[in-house]
Amino acid sequence: MKNTMMPHHRMTRQRQVILEEIRNDKTHPTADEIYEKVRKRIPRISMGTVYRNLDMLASSGLIKRLEPGRSQMRFDGDITDHYHLTCVKCGRIEDILFESPENSIETLERALGHLTKYGVFGHRLEFFGLCSICRREEDVTGLVSLAAR
């Protein structure tokens, strides 16, 4: 993988391990969760070092910092444009994947760019609902309550 860091930031071992842990974790981890994983590989790393490196990696565009409005900031190792669903029950964040290219983000941005007088460079859209796990639990709970009637 090409190193896309800004020239004045070298890829230290600590940064590399933090980056690897985020990219390997599809749950959009918090800084605390990242710290716990990194500590398994670098036991003497401090929380402050993890926070500073997360900030630098996000500023460099190597990871995404998911916007505030959550109880804890979360990070995403997938820097491609994609949507998220935040579960209103458990707080889990899942990526929303389109089933076909016709429904892609690029199609939406192109259409909006043609419909308005503004040049569209990007957007931010988040969905709220039940994650796949909580939805399954709701389905099971609903079936149990129906059976009890």
**Count of helix runs (H) and strand runs (E) in the chain:** 5, 5
Fold of 80-149: Dna Ligase; domain 1 (3.30.1490)
Its pTM stands at: 0.67
Contacts 24+ apart (CB under 8 A), 22-25: 22/57, 22/63, 22/75, 22/76, 22/77, 23/63, 23/77, 23/78, 24/77, 25/77
Q: Regarding the domain delimited by 1-79, which CATH topology (the fold level of the hierarchy) does it fall under?
A: Arc Repressor Mutant, subunit A (1.10.10)
User: pLDDT (tens digit, 9 = 90+) per residue, 106-141?
Assistant: 676 677 766 666 666 666 777 888 888 898 888 767
- Confidence class for position 105, pLDDT limits 50, 70, 90: low
Distance CA 59, CA 61 (A): 5
